[in-house]
Amino acid sequence: MALGKSVNVAVVGVTGAVGQEFLTVLAERNFPIKNLRVMASQRSAGKRITYCGKEYIVEDLANADPKGIDIALFSAGGSRSKEFAPKFASAGCIVVDNSSAFRMDPEVPLVVPEVNPSAIKIRPKGIIANPNCSTIIAVVPLWPLHKRAKVKRFIVSTYQAVSGAGAKAIYELENQTKEVLEGKKASPNIFPHPIAFNLFSHNSKIGDDGYNEEETKMRKETHKIFGDSTIRISATCARVPVFRSHAESINADFEMKISPEEAREILSKAPGVKVVDDREKNYFPMPLETSGQDLVFAGRFRRDSSSDNGLAFFISGDQLRKGAATNAVQIAELLLEE
């Protein structure tokens, strides 16, 4: 499908946290939209959404006609994506889906533009998958290091913000914080445990191997994005009482030695990365500073003292932006360049 200089765009799941971020990122990046349509579930149909000073009425996804749409940005949840993304694709639309529904489908490319942009060229189903937020944030700085010294194994621990679970999770942290400060008991609803002044293992299903779904996604998705299933990966994912932006600690083993100084130099020139690494001031990547940013901050570079060719470092990135909306819009920009 040949796309012109401006295209017809649909934002599906527009009333959700990522859907709202889609609109923000599209506007900030001056994405060339000819006609915009916004869609959500039946309960949100009829609401009014403002984009670049113009008002749009939210359509009911179930009754929406995808004819004429060039690119659809989906953030409607896995079950809705499985039901509606193929319908949009069969109508000639290219779907960029933010759910986990198609990520491991061998006929659907899983794309991070800084890593594997050419993967978008082969999309027999007309669908391109956006990776999991934690995976995106990890692979953006890992990829340039992998190209230099080849990653053999890495261990990652994530510290994930509550907004990764949606807008209601943000309100839950706010409310629980007030409750605790007022001497009351925190009342969990979205999460299985109190999140205010607490942290716990990521709230996703635990598999037979003891890894939760978030941890398994990081392993499988990195293999697919890097095109290398030999890399050994172990992840531990946790929820922390932070509103926005994930942080991750990474210990990577490489085939060749790579010094902290060399890693710092490589990543200072890498797309999508900002080096924040001031040992004297003990100043390294923080969620507060990556919130609202599209770059993944990387720092705390040091030799892994437990490995001959190991490197340890710390990263942070906004999971609603680079971990979701921005990555999807970047994929849409690649489609325009084809």
* Catalytic center residues: 133, 246
10 pLDDT band (50/70/90 cuts)? very high
Residue 243 has pLDDT above 60, yes or no: yes
Give the start-to-end residue ranges of the domains of the chain: 7-131+324-337, 135-319
Residue 75 has pLDDT above 50, yes or no: yes
Q: How many CA atoms lie within 13 A of 54 on its CB side?
A: 9
Average pLDDT, the chain: 96
The domain 135-319 having CATH identifier 3.30.360.10: the answer here is yes
338 pLDDT band (50/70/90 cuts)? confident
4 pLDDT band (50/70/90 cuts)? low
Nearest to 156 by CA among 255, 248, 272: 248
Q: Give the model confidence (pLDDT) of 281-313 as tens digits.
A: 999 999 999 999 999 999 999 999 999 999 999
Integer Cα distance of 87 and 84 in angstroms: 5
Report the interhelical angle of 213-226 vs 133-149 (nearest 10°).
40
Average pLDDT over residues 147-161: 98
Q: What share of the chain in percent tops pLDDT 70? A: 99
Task: Enumerate the H helices of 65-166 as residue ranges.
Answer: 78-90, 133-149
Q: Give the model confidence (pLDDT) of 19-50 as tens digits.
A: 999 999 999 999 999 999 999 999 999 999 99
Q: Could you tell me the fold of the domain covering 7-131+324-337?
A: Rossmann fold (3.40.50)
- What was the pLDDT predicted at 9? 98
Global confidence as pTM? 0.95
1 pLDDT band (50/70/90 cuts)? very low
Integer Cα distance of 242 and 317 in angstroms: 12
Concatenating the DSSP letter of every residue in 235-289 gives EEEEE-S-SS-EEEEEEEEESS---HHHHHHHHHTSTTEEE--BTTTTB---HHH
Q: Give the model confidence (pLDDT) of 180-225 as tens digits.
A: 999 999 999 999 999 999 999 999 999 999 999 999 999 999 999 9
166 pLDDT band (50/70/90 cuts)? confident
